[in-house]
Structure 1
Amino acid sequence: MEKLIHVLYDYIIEYIVRIVGVLLLTTILMQIFTRIFFKVPFSWTDELARFAFIWYCFLGSVLTMYKKMHLGIDYFESKMKPKGLFINRIFIYAIQIFFAIMLAYFGFKLLGIVGRQKSPIMRMPMKYIYMSLPISGVLYFILSINELYLHIKGESTPKPVVISDVGGDINL
């Protein structure tokens, strides 16, 4: 399972996020360039940038959770005894699993609603845009179940993210 998680998140999802990020940046730069030099920008760049941004945000949040780079406040956890910390983490993983199930479920329901709609300018089916919701939900679910399993098994150790600044290191 660890190998599958590693390949899925470290290679596939990270690669897709990078491609979508480059697409987002390229379309925004094209929009700026055409506004300055042609006075009439390409109409499709605004729409494509918006859609790329949606995918970038949702898949990027999954990748951020996988790399444990999300914002966390550990003040209360640092005050807990080991048993309380163990139970607290189980509760947190259960909330993550619930959120993932809701995101996937309502994302799939939304796909049924927008199935026939097309985007105004590019005429792209909107289900391709909204597909980021259930896909992210499923990816969150896989990740949260794996983290819960590792935590219960006793192999999970949270890795703090260290951000360097001028005055020294800041542990998050």
Structure 2
Amino acid sequence: MEKFVHVLYDYIIEYIVRLIGVLLITTVLMQIFTRIFFKVPFSWTDELARFAFIWYCFLGSVLTMHKKMHLGIDYFESKMKPKSRFVNRIFVYSMQIFFASLLAYYGYKLLGIVGRQKSPIMRVQMKYIYSVLPISGILYLILSIHELLLHLKGEDTAQPVMMETLKGDVQI
């Protein structure tokens, strides 16, 4: 399971997020370039940038959760006793699993509603745009279950890496 999670998030998802980021930057720059030099921007760049931004945000948040870079309040957890901290982590992972399940389920249901709608300019079926909801829900679900199982085995990696990085970078 560890190898699967590593390949899925560290290689596949990270590559897709980077690719979408390049697409987003390129379309925005094309929009700016055509607006300045041609006085009439390409109509499709705005829509493509919006769709790329949606995918970038959702998949980027999954990647951020995998790398443990989401903002968190660990002050209260640091004051807990080890047993309370263990139970608190189980609660947190359970809530993540619950919300990931909701995102995947209702995201999938939404695909049935928007199945035949097309975007106004590019004429892309909106189900392809909204499919990021169940995809990211499933990715969150896999990650949360994996983290919960590691925690229950005692191999918890829940310590945020962000604070250690910031301590070395701050110079006064």
TM-score by length of 1: 0.96
Which residue in 2 is equivalent to 1:111?
111
1:82-134 CA-partner distances (Å, limit 9, x unpaired):
00000000000000000100000000000000000000000000000000000
Please give the alpha-carbon distance, in whole angstroms, between the structure 2 residues aligned to 1:138 and 1:149.
16
Instruction: Give the Cα–Cα distance (whole angstroms) in 2 for the partners of residues 126 and 37 of structure 1.
Output: 31
Cα deviations by residue, 1:120-165 (Å, 9 ceiling, x for unpaired): 0000000000000000000000000000000000001324212223
Measured in 2, the distance between the counterparts of 1:2 and 1:159 equals 19
Which residue number in structure 2 is paired with residue 81 of structure 1?
Answer: 81
The equivalent of 2:63 in structure 1 is 63
Tell me what 1:160 maps to. 161
Offset of 1:166 from its aligned partner? Answer: 2.6
Structure 1 vs Structure 2: percent identity of aligned residues? 78
- Match in the other structure for 2:18: 18
Unaligned runs of 5+ in 2: none
Question: Which residue is 2:102 aligned to?
Answer: 102
Larger % of helix: which? 2
Distance between the aligned counterparts of 2:117 and 2:26, measured in 1?
Answer: 26
Matched letter for residue 170 of structure 2: D
Deviations 1:39-95 (A, max 9, x none): 000000000000000000000000000000000111100110000000000000000
* Equivalent position SS for 1:155: coil
Matches for 1:121-160 after TM superposition, within 5 Å:
121-157=121-157, 158-160=159-161
Q: Structure 2 length as normaliser, TM-score?
A: 0.96
SS at match of 1:138: helix
In 2, the alpha carbon distance for the partners of 1:128 and 1:61 equals 19
The RMSD of aligned alpha carbons is 0.7
* 1:62 partner letter: V
More strand by share: 1
- The one-letter code sitting in structure 2 at the alignment partner of 1:165 is V
Q: Which runs of 5+ in 1 are unaligned?
A: 168-172
